[in-house]
């Protein structure tokens, strides 16, 4: 009830929201997805949002599966690439949805990698003040990380993912059959987040990757499903505890502070996973310099990243100053000061008194950058 005391009126708007959802794993899942949406609909019609890479491969098949179940569906696409994850692209998608008559009773299906998931999720968060959406990630990176947790965002000239919203999906479908068509470089780049999950919370999973990387690189359905389930388990455990990144969820940013800076400085020529791989080595060396992360564990991390075919050295064209400056504009900085997420061993992170991120002197960072160039 609204309360008025003197000249102050208070509106009490406390609420409890259940944003739980299922993550469904499988192989060649489009008929299952369509059947699920028919039996448990989340909208009166479905907008498949994809990009120019994934659309020609999978959009028609998904659209046909939906229509075979009597569901209304259309495909909306934008140009592929991190450089196109912008407000302009999202505005174009919104205009297309409006022109096609999509209203508040509609839903979005995000079909693609991390760029598509971020952009489509952001459109879902803002279109008509929010409509439901489903994640259907088609890359290792998206199946490991970005499709789970509800982070949606677009990039600006000032930094990556600076404009966004938390918008949890209604469901996530991990169809590992879509990994067959990934280019080799993109497949390997996606493994960075998988290795990161082992470092931040699961030493046993890290050891599995060490012992089976040659099998992982063959993309068998069995190994792909095993990796996807473990990635979602690890990230899901963290997100359940800290859905809005107030504390523990920050460990998921391991390697991302410098990684995002490198990605941006490269003009997105570096894939996200490649940049995160290098960023993990920088953060690992920072932690090693501070006496937290043993040299043996640092070497294990580098060997596994190398075995996955990921880069571990900073490109010579990027100066220390430019990397530090770009890092300071990252959305995870606080009071314009950079905070780093640091490991203390394979499978365990420094808690920084519950903050899970700490400030580091620039001299330590510069030394870690120097060591990551050798």
Say whether both 117 and 142 belong to one domain.
Answer: yes
With respect to residue 2, please indicate whether it lies within any of the assigned structural domains: no
Say whether both 125 and 257 belong to one domain.
Answer: no
Q: Of the ranges 42-46, 94-98, 244-248, which one carries the lowest mean pLDDT score?
A: 244-248
Element housing 75 (H / E): strand 73-78
The percentage of residues in the chain with a pLDDT greater than 90, rounded to a whole number, is 89
The predicted pLDDT at position 333 comes to 57
What is the mean predicted confidence (pLDDT) over 252-276? 95
Residue in 82, 138, 87 with CA at minimum distance from that of residue 272:
82
With respect to residue 297, please indicate whether it lies within any of the assigned structural domains: yes
Rounded CA separation 140/272 (Å): 12
Asked whether the predicted pLDDT for residue 171 surpasses 70, the reply is yes
Rounded CA separation 311/307 (Å): 10
pLDDT band at 330 (very low <50, low <70, confident <90, very high): low
Element housing 5 (H / E): strand 3-5
With respect to residue 308, please indicate whether it lies within any of the assigned structural domains: yes
Rounded CA separation 116/113 (Å): 5
- DSSP string covering 198-258, please? HHHH-HHHHHHHHHHHHHHTTT-HHHHHHHHHHHHHHHHHHHHH-TT-SSGGGGGGTTHHH
What is the mean predicted confidence (pLDDT) over 344-368? 96
CATH code, domain with 262: 1.20.1090.10
Say whether both 169 and 189 belong to one domain.
Answer: no
Say whether both 229 and 166 belong to one domain.
Answer: no
With respect to residue 14, please indicate whether it lies within any of the assigned structural domains: no
Q: DSSP assignment, residue 176? A: G
With respect to residue 62, please indicate whether it lies within any of the assigned structural domains: yes
Asked whether the predicted pLDDT for residue 335 surpasses 70, the reply is no
* pLDDT tens digits, 7-56: 999 998 888 889 999 999 999 999 999 999 999 999 999 999 999 999 99
Number of domains in the chain: 2
CATH code, domain with 176: 3.40.50.1970
Say whether both 229 and 98 belong to one domain.
Answer: no
The predicted pLDDT at position 80 comes to 97
Residue in 42, 38, 32 with CA at minimum distance from that of residue 71:
38
Say whether both 200 and 270 belong to one domain.
Answer: yes
Say whether both 85 and 217 belong to one domain.
Answer: no
The predicted pLDDT at position 159 comes to 85
Asked whether the predicted pLDDT for residue 336 surpasses 70, the reply is no
Say whether both 218 and 196 belong to one domain.
Answer: yes
With respect to residue 335, please indicate whether it lies within any of the assigned structural domains: yes
Say whether both 47 and 141 belong to one domain.
Answer: yes
Rounded CA separation 100/242 (Å): 37
The predicted pLDDT at position 207 comes to 98
Q: Give the distance, in angstroms, between the CA of residue 136 and the centroid of all CA atoms in the same chain.
A: 13
pLDDT band at 126 (very low <50, low <70, confident <90, very high): very high
With respect to residue 357, please indicate whether it lies within any of the assigned structural domains: yes
Q: What is the mean pLDDT of the chain?
A: 95
124, 153, 181 - which closes a domain = 181
Say whether both 215 and 306 belong to one domain.
Answer: yes
pLDDT band at 133 (very low <50, low <70, confident <90, very high): very high
Rounded CA separation 52/186 (Å): 15
The predicted pLDDT at position 348 comes to 97
- Residue 193 is part of which domain span? 184-371
Strand order in the sheet with 73-78: 22-26, 171-175, 133-137, 107-112, 46-51, 73-78
For the full predicted model, state whether its pTM sits above 0.85: yes
Say whether both 98 and 160 belong to one domain.
Answer: yes
The predicted pLDDT at position 331 comes to 54
């Amino acid at each position: 009830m609204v309360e008025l005391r003197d000249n102050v009126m208070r509106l009490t708007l406390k609420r409890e929201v259940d944003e739980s959802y299922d993550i469904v794993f499988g192989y060649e899942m489009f008929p299952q997805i369509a059947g699920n949406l028919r039996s448990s609909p989340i909208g009166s019609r479905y907008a498949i949002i994809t990009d120019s890479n994934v659309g020609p491969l999978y959009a028609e098949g998904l659209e046909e599966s939906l229509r075979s179940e009597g569901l209304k569906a259309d495909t909306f696409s934008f140009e592929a690439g991190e450089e196109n994850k912008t407000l302009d692209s999202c505005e174009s998608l919104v205009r297309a949805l409006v022109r096609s008559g999509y209203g508040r009773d509609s839903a979005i299906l995000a079909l693609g990698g991390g760029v598509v998931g971020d952009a489509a999720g952001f459109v879902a968060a803002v279109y008509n003040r929010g409509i439901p959406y489903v994640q259907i990630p088609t890359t290792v990176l998206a199946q490991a990380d970005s499709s789970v947790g509800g982070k949606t965002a677009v990039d600006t000239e000032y930094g990556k993912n600076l404009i966004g919203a938390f918008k949890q999906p209604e469901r996530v479908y991990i169809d590992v059959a879509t990994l067959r068509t990934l280019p080799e470089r993109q497949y390997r780049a996606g493994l960075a987040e998988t290795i990161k999950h082992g470092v931040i919370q699961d030493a046993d999973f890290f050891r599995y990757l060490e012992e089976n990387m040659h099998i992982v690189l063959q993309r068998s359905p069995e190994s792909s499903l095993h990796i996807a389930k473990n990635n979602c388990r690890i990230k899901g455990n963290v997100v359940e505890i800290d859905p809005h990144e107030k504390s523990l969820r920050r460990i998921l940013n391991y390697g991302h502070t410098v990684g995002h800076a490198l990605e941006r400085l490269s003009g997105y020529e570096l894939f996200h996973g490649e940049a995160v791989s290098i960023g993990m080595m920088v953060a690992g060396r920072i932690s090693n310099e501070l006496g937290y992360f043993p040299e043996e564990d640092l070497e294990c991390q580098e060997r596994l990243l190398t075995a996955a075919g990921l880069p571990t050295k900073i490109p010579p064209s990027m100066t220390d100053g430019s990397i530090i400056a770009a890092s300071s504009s990252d959305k995870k900085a606080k009071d314009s000061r950079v905070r780093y997420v640091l490991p203390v061993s394979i499978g365990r992170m420094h808690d920084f008194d519950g903050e899970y991120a700490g400030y580091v002197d620039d001299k330590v960072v510069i030394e870690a950058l120097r060591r990551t160039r050798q």
